Amino acid sequence: MASCSLTQSCTTMSHHRRSAFYLRSALAWTLCFTCINLTSHAEEENQPDAKPAKQNVHLLAMRGAYADLPQSMGLDVTSLLQGPVNQKPFYRLCEYVDKLADGETHQYLVLDLSDPTLAMNMAQLDEFTRRIERFKKSGKKTIAWLEDASTVALAIAASCDEVLMADFGGIDMPSLAMQSMYYKDAFDLLGIQASVVRAGNFKGAVEPYTQSVMSAHLREHYLQMLRRINDGVVAKIAVGRGLEKELIRRLQKQRIVLPEEALAAGLIDGLAPYGSLKTTLSERIPGELAWSSPATKPQRSVSFFELMGSLMSGPKTATRTRGSVIAVLHLSGNIISGRNASSGSIVSGATVKTIQSLIDDDTIKAVVIRINSPGGSATASEIIRSALEKLVAAKPTVVSMGDTAASGGYWISCIGVPVYAESGTITGSIGVFSMKLSGRALLRRVGVHIESLTLDDSAGMFSLDRIWSVDEKAALEKTIDSVYGRFLALVSKARNLPIDKVRELAGGRVWSGSQARELGLVDHLGGVDDCLTYLAEKAELDKYTVVHRPLASTGLNLMELLGSGGGDEILSGLGRRQLRALAARGLQLNQLRLLLDDAERAGSGPPTIWALHPEEITIR
């Protein structure tokens, strides 16, 4: 028993020793790790603060008037009359911002909006601010720099994360206004009369030539449209800056907003010394800044012979594309009949050729038809619309309305495909008319008398020295009613609306894009960016490139330069002198020039039936 107890005691002591050993070992390791951890923390505390990472900042200076499809600076008639315009490619700008959004290089995009020449129309403004929103969703930051800001600059800035302004600048933010030139009194002074036959009491393209002031019903209709477009601009600024719409409207009524007032109202986030863009941002953005900007091509000398060779080379020819392509077909300008392309116009023959080239190009998988047109010849509009129907049958197609797609511009959209418009688009104006300008009194003043020998009175219908008779107007009304009926039927079929409903919306009435969407005249609010997304899904394209057609013309038409001969030199000379004098004062005169050109050609064929919206209505 004693031996057993001793053995148990020794065994117990052995267990105790082992337990103590394990305990001491555990404590030793714990102390060791604690010392290492404390030493590590001490070393970290003794180290200097780490430098912030270098920030890549891309500076994009925006200047000039942006155009969907810029025209070349060639020697075209419009440039001679109105002077050169610095047009910047709008969609190249949009694609550039998208490329920055998809890249990994830049953390900041700074928009320098200080140039006073910066201009965009309402449709472009909507689309560009969506591109900025897309850039922000990529996780990058946007900063806007303002000096003397316009409504356009402010609306773009409001879409950015931060807005800074020069302390010596200011904001001129009037509400939108509409101007329309009325020529009736000027015609009376000159001795010119306008004979008109029309379908649609709201056809505003006619009133400037037959009335001295705008009719009350047309004025009220335009005001309703103007309010809707202005509401869209107000909402854009208010949402972007997190402000109430009522505040933006009060500031619009005030119009001129000083820098301190802009800061107090929340339109901007901060003030900085004038011209201190880079210095100010270097202080506001942490870390070292690495600045970059779009690459520019170095200027080179061009000889006289190179210049003339380029001008005389004619329109550029599009090369065949590779891979999967979505084409954007730009239809911009007045719609006229003819065979050869003309800068600033949609010529029926040349446009049909361009459409056919898109059909024949197998790499082009889908097409966006981008319309910026107040209309023009109804006959030319139908020729183009019929060609577009063939395009629709061949490839997925969608219509995008730009700043204006009215009258003939709306006519060519009636092809049974989805139609997108921006909230500020001007569209509708479903109506037609025919007009003749007569200068009998003018000719008498300059001592000219015309003797006309005709077998029938109708043979002298286009004589320059007389207006249309009652019988001639009655005969023309049959044609006008027929063309108008055709227009209504096209809209009814394309929009799937009863003809009586279309008649209520027609009569020459114009609508904003948001109004047109509510009335069923367009399908969606959006721009080319939305159209590309729609077509890529419809055509099942994961990757694609975008091309724009037609390519810009050189702008020099040899026949126009040398003179085509014929025409009425008296009316032409006087008309162009008056146009040049008014154009020098910044007034838009394309439509009056179009009608004067038509007057020169009068008598060479049937009267022109116009599906034309008053382009001289400008919204600023």
DSSP-assigned letters across all residues of 71-112: PPSS--HHHHHH----EEEHHHHHHHHHHHHH-SS-SEEEEE
Q: Give the pLDDT of residue 301.
A: 58
* pLDDT above 50: residue 328: yes
Give the lowest-confidence range in 45-49, 409-413, 461-465.
Answer: 45-49
Give the least confident one: 132-146, 262-276, 437-451.
Answer: 437-451
Residue 549 predicted with pLDDT over 70? yes
Looking at every residue in the chain, the average pLDDT score rounds to 83
DSSP H helices in 242-377: 245-254, 259-265, 277-284, 304-312, 348-360
Nearest to 424 by CA among 549, 540, 510, 328: 510
User: In the chain, how long is the greatest CA-to-CA distance?
Assistant: 159
Give the model confidence (pLDDT) of 500-547 as tens digits: 999 999 999 999 999 999 999 999 999 999 999 999 999 999 999 999
- Which percentage of the chain shows pLDDT scores above 90? 60
Binned at pLDDT 50, 70 and 90, residue 2 comes out as very low
Question: What is the full DSSP assignment across 179-190?
Answer: E----HHHHHHH
Q: Is the pLDDT of residue 423 over 50?
A: yes
CA atoms within 13 A on the CB side of 611: 33
Q: Which residues pair with 406 in a beta bridge?
A: 428
DSSP state, residue 458: G
Give the pLDDT band (50/70/90) at residue 17.
very low
Mapping DSSP to helix (H, G, I), strand (E, B) and coil, where does residue 522 land?
coil
pLDDT at 449: 86
- Please calculate the CA angle 593-341-379 and round it to the nearest 5 degrees: 65
Query: Stretch 271-283: mean pLDDT, rounded?
Result: 94
Of 109-118, 356-365, 376-385, 553-562, which range is least confident? 553-562
Statement: the pTM of the whole predicted model exceeds 0.95: no
Section 71-84 average pLDDT: 46
Phi-psi region for residue 314, left (φ > 0), alpha (ψ -120 to 50) or beta? left
Mean pLDDT, residues 155-177 taken together: 96
Q: What is the DSSP letter of 555?
A: S
Across residues 555-579, what is the average pLDDT?
Answer: 44
> What is the structure's pLDDT at 574?
42
Minimum mean pLDDT range among 194-208, 240-254, 485-499: 194-208
Radius of gyration of the chain (CA): 34
Q: Which residue has the higher pLDDT, 51 or 66?
A: 66
Query: What pLDDT is stored for residue 169 in this prediction?
Result: 87
Residue 98 structure tokens? 């998208």
Q: Is 273 helix (H, G, I), strand (E, B) or coil?
A: coil
How many other C-beta atoms can be found within 10 angstroms of the C-beta atom of residue 444? Answer: 12
Average the pLDDT over 453-472 and give the result. 85
pLDDT band at 617 (very low <50, low <70, confident <90, very high): low
Quick one: which H or E segment has residue 421?
A: strand 419-421
CB contact set of 43 (below 8 Å; sequence gap of 6+): none
224: left (phi over 0), alpha (psi -120 to 50) or beta: alpha
- Using alpha carbons only, give the angle 380, 386, 392 rounded to the nearest 5 degrees: 135
Question: How far is 492 from 494, CA to CA, in rounded Å?
Answer: 6
Count other Cβ atoms within 10 Å, centred on residue 588.
16
Instruction: Catalogue all structural domains in the chain, each as residue range(s) with its CATH number.
Output: 55-173+255-292 (3.90.226.10), 318-619 (3.90.226.10)
| Range in 113-127, 328-342, 546-560, 581-595 with the lowest mean pLDDT | 581-595
Q: What is the pLDDT of residues 110-157, one digit of tens each?
A: 999 999 999 999 999 999 999 999 999 999 999 999 999 999 999 999
Q: What is the pLDDT of residue 608?
A: 82
- Measure the N-to-C terminal CA separation of the chain; round to a whole number of Å: 116
